[in-house]
């Protein structure tokens, strides 16, 4: 074989060609194996991606249900707040007042109503903290500045909530804001109590 390779040029070319073809075939086989592995990886990635899409769709569905529930809770507590406050104001101040939401170009209020010299301005929230209180005070100031016709001599700021945070209670006492829920008061400011007594005297006389 070695002698043929040395002396026979055609034999030498034939062996070289064979060896070259074998190398090419070997490399093609290796590439084929790599392609198979890549396909397997692609299939796995596609399966993982489909699983991820399924999880996202499930989460999106759950979030939609949560949003609908929260929206319903918000609407429910706003209706409840207006109903309870209408009753409480009539019972304690002897004033019949129609409470509703107030939507203006630059602000919205859950609770608003006027009767005689009294103006009730408030917010209703399932859970309320200091942010709700600060927002309410800002809206009252904006009403005074931009919509003075919506304001009356006596303003009764109100926060109706099922779950008040401790910081809200403390600040509401300082700012004389009425904080309550259906079953009672968390904060009932002294001016409101004084106004209640005044109306009681008027009713008796």
Which parts of the chain have pLDDT scores under 70? 1-29, 31-32, 61, 63-75, 191-205
Average pLDDT over all residues of the chain: 79
Three-class SS of residue 76? helix
* CA neighbor of 142 nearest in space, from 92, 185, 105, 196: 105
What is the predicted pLDDT for the residue at 196? 56
Residues 6+ apart with CB under 8 A from 153: 117, 118, 119
Measure the CA–CA gap between 84 and 24, rounded to whole angstroms: 87
CA distances from 138 to 129, 132, 180 (A): 15, 10, 20
Per-domain boundaries in the chain: 2-57, 78-204
Choose the CATH number for 78-204 among 3.40.50.300, 3.55.40.20, 3.40.1350.10, 3.20.20.70: 3.40.1350.10
């Amino acid at each position: 074989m070695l002698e043929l390779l040395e002396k026979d040029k055609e034999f030498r070319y034939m062996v070289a060609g064979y060896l070259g073809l074998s190398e090419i075939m070997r490399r093609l086989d290796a590439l084929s194996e790599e392609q198979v592995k890549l396909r397997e990886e692609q299939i796995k990635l596609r399966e993982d991606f489909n699983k991820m899409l399924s999880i996202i769709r499930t989460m999106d569905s759950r979030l939609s249900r949560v949003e609908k529930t929260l929206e319903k809770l918000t609407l429910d507590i706003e209706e409840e707040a207006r109903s309870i406050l209408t009753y409480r104001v009539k019972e304690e101040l002897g004033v019949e007042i129609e409470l509703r939401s107030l939507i203006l170009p630059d602000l919205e209020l859950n609770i608003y109503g006027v009767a005689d010299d009294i103006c009730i301005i408030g917010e209703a929230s399932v859970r309320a903290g200091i942010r709700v209180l600060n927002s309410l005070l800002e809206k009252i100031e904006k009403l005074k500045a931009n919509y003075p016709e919506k304001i009356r001599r006596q303003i009764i700021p109100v926060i109706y909530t099922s779950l008040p945070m401790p910081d809200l209670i403390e600040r509401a006492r300082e700012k004389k804001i009425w904080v309550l829920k259906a079953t009672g008061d968390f904060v009932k400011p002294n001016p409101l109590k004084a106004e209640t007594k005044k109306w009681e005297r008027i009713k008796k006389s």
